[in-house]
Structure 1
């Protein structure tokens, strides 16, 4: 039985409901190790860059399109388009692994749409495509899954920073509060139907690619 939309949103947002996103630091681990992130101010600037110039202009655009497509065959074409647009092998693998993990959770819980998409894309659907498919299957509105997707970026960066010792719990509370306000500002502007995906986060992109050469790694990327 599908949960009520509000409870469903809380369920998917809960980090205890493990869906793989916590395994990725989006390059933050490398940046901390190299001394690029040494304070809450550094982290806040990076997080804002990730929200504005990657999530809002790239992931959210694909999420929007995937949700509008519903469960038809265009999702497979769109997933290939995400793959083409992503910069770097490590980023592509991370996106697919996170999407595959999300679909895997719901497949094991008996959701047929998640299972079908998982079978249709054995390599793993990219995260925005997987998020849209799960949202459709679980009765979440587009506005709900957009808010959830954006918040997971904030939550992931914040939890990674604390685990890496880059910031303390008190600092991260202030940072997350400000990031939530920033996310609200972005969500207040709907994605146009003809929006083209763009991203400009070179610091993150380079750090993600360099991560695999690190001697000590807590995260998959």
Structure 2
């Protein structure tokens, strides 16, 4: 049961992972679709999980997890995420989140987090959040299924929390959306993922929204 408790700990919204400053493109999406309904918002979250998280963040996390603490292998995955994240705001946000996540675990005494934090400072790693999560969750002893569920839950809950802070949905409405996303996350984590799989993402609406948002005069979130 310890690995399950650790998974709950890692998905706790109170864990200081730095994600409070990022909306993952949702703030920009709202600026483009000011009439977005709750149904539209829920469809956008589902699209993000299917077309971004499942084939990109989840895969990057798994590849890093399977490196089992090998810094060179983790850095290789990290560089692939860096090269394939074309939107600067999303790339910078991912690195900042990763740095915050590593800082928290390093202060808690996790040896791999300390090594990765030092590697990022030295320029040997970029520190993208999905990659850092996979590496640390492997070190913490979470199994692959639990790590994938953690990743999916954190991704969905982070976007929904941002939407609540933006006033797009109410707190209970957001919880309803999150509740309905859980079976989808479970379904997506059931996919077999080979070690040689490539990162895949296709969600142009959110990418365009995030790029436009970076030039906004007034914004609550960094991306």
Give the shorter-chain TM-score range.
over 0.9
Contact 1:76 1:121 in 2 (8 A): no
TM normalised by structure 1 equals 0.93
Contact 1:82 1:126 in 2 (8 A): yes
Contact 1:66 1:129 in 2 (8 A): yes
Alpha-carbon offset, residue 83 of structure 1? 0.6
Which of 162, 165, 177 aligns to 2:164? It is 162
Deviates most, 114-123 or 91-100: 114-123
Contact 1:36 1:42 in 2 (8 A): no
Matched with 2:27 is 29
Contact 1:54 1:201 in 2 (8 A): yes
Distance, in Å, in 2 between the alignment partners of 1:196 and 1:36 is 35
Contact 2:137 2:147 in 1 (8 A): yes
Contact 1:31 1:37 in 2 (8 A): no
TM normalised by structure 2 equals 0.92
Mapping for residues 1-221 of structure 1, pairs under 5 Å: 4-36=2-34, 38-72=36-70, 73-122=72-121, 124-221=126-223
Alpha-carbon offset, residue 192 of structure 1? 2.5
Contact 2:160 2:174 in 1 (8 A): yes
Deviates most, 33-42 or 180-189: 33-42
Alpha-carbon offset, residue 37 of structure 1? 5.6
Moved over 3 A (4+): none
The CA RMSD over aligned residues, in Å, is 1.6
Distance, in Å, in 1 between the alignment partners of 2:35 and 2:119 is 40
Alpha-carbon offset, residue 88 of structure 1? 1.5
**Long gaps (5+) in structure 1:** none
**Long gaps (5+) in structure 2:** none
